[in-house]
């Protein structure tokens, strides 16, 4: 069974500082990996996804993530935090059938990012 572990339920950074949110996964097949962001009282918005192309994936709002197979990691980074980045971030792995069609997403428990002025 696939699973996702997000290290750190709460990360606090200063505005302008580096953002690093950690995600490790377990999967018996090459995974599809995703980062979603959830603002208060809203649904999930896709930040970026890895689908076995380039290992460094660039997403929206200046975020990027690097797939490291040897470390089974997919950490999310942003060089300079902005106040508007304060939200909850979820890492997810896709449970792919043999045909490669997306089926369910398995999510981590989330990391709440706060940005201090």
Residues 23, 32: Cα–Cα separation, whole Å:
13
CB nearer to other proteins: give 2 or 77: 2
Name which of 42 and 61 has its Cβ closer to other proteins.
42
* Sign of the CA dihedral with 95 first, then 28, 69, and 98 last: negative
CB atoms under 10 Å from CB of 24, counted, come to: 17
The minimum distance between CB 104 and other proteins, in angstroms, equals 4
* 31 vs 81 by CB, closer to other proteins: 31
Q: Which among 69, 62, 2, 55 is positioned nearest to 37, based on CA atoms?
A: 62
| Least distance to other proteins, CB of residue 105, Å | 6
Please report where in the chains the tokens 């995600």 appear, as a residue: 23
Binding site for other proteins (CB under 8 A): 4, 32, 34, 36, 42-46, 49, 51, 90, 92, 95, 100-110
| Nearest distance in Å: CB 92, other proteins | 8
């Amino acid at each position: 069974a696939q699973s996702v572990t997000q290290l750190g339920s709460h990360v606090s950074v200063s505005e302008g500082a580096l953002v690093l949110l950690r995600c490790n996964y377990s999967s018996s097949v090459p995974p599809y990996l995703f980062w979603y962001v959830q603002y208060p009282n809203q649904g999930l918005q896709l930040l970026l996804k890895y689908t076995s192309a380039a290992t460094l994936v660039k997403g929206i709002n200046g975020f990027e993530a690097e797939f490291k197979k040897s470390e089974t990691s997919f950490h999310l980074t942003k060089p300079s935090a902005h106040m508007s980045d304060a939200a909850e971030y979820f890492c997810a792995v896709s449970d792919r059938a043999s045909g490669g069609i997306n089926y369910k997403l398995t999510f981590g428990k989330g990391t709440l990012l706060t940005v201090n002025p």
